[in-house]
Amino acid sequence: MLRTVPGLMLLTTLCSPALAVTIGQVDDFQDGATAGWGAGTQSLLVTADGGPQLAGDRYLAYESNGFGGPNSRMVIPNEGPGNQWGGDYLASGVAAISAEALNAGDTDLSLRLGIADGTTWFVSTEPVFLGANSAWTSVAFSIAADAMTRVGAGLSDFSAVARSVGRVRLISSVGLPTVSFGGTGGLQGEVIAASIGLDNIRAVGVPEPSSLVAAALVLGGVFCRRSFVH
């Protein structure tokens, strides 16, 4: 049983870095709110039906127009004060962010995840391709030094950023994206006319060693059974 001492708990809270993000947290949009995704000038909405579970499954929808202005780019930020996706990813053990994604438009999407501590951005080195007019698809974005590239003018290293994430963005960009305001502003998605649906955005941890061993034993058993079948 976990026990806490009020004074000790307060001291720990004051001395420890914020751990807002936790393994297993999920934004499923079933309450009808955007869960902090999107900027105030963007036309994001929560659609009542049509998520991965179809009827009654709400999801986040966004359409970029490709013309200019606040809805011109395919970029979906979550970076308000105290947002649930900020915090220390290394201490919390969060190794990836997964989601269900729908491309409801006629334009292919090259999805990337970006994280920043303030002015230094790291973004997925390789994009996740989501073809035009595709059905709901499971996607995942690794949050690891060997899977992300620093972009813009910020100088923090990956470890420093991952320990103090304050800004998170999902974007579409075929190549590595740019950062506004001379490299110290926001991560920029492509200026593109496209449509996306997102649901069940989830914080994923690294599998426990025991789980990896169990999986290896299962696969080994399958291999052995197949080896003796002629």
pLDDT in tens, 87-130: 999 999 999 999 999 999 999 999 999 999 989 999 999 999 99
Is residue 102 a part of any domain in this protein?
Answer: yes
Is residue 130 a part of any domain in this protein?
Answer: yes
Is residue 9 a part of any domain in this protein?
Answer: no
How many domains in the chain? 1
Who wins on pLDDT, 39 or 228? 39
189: which 2 tokens? 């998605």
| Helices assigned H by DSSP within the chain | 6-15, 89-92, 158-162, 180-183, 209-227
Give the domain range for residue 54: 17-224
* pLDDT confidence bin for 216, thresholds 50/70/90: very low
Is residue 45 a part of any domain in this protein?
Answer: yes
Is residue 5 a part of any domain in this protein?
Answer: no
CATH code of the domain in which 27 resides? 2.60.120.260
Judged on CB neighbours under 10 Å (0-12, 13-18, 19+), 134 is middle
In this structure, the strands spanning 128-130 and 75-78 are: unpaired
Q: What share of the chain is helix, strand, coil (3-state, %, to 5)?
A: 20, 35, 45
Is residue 84 a part of any domain in this protein?
Answer: yes
Who wins on pLDDT, 210 or 187? 187
* pLDDT confidence bin for 209, thresholds 50/70/90: low
Choose the weakest-confidence range: 59-68, 114-123, 206-215.
206-215
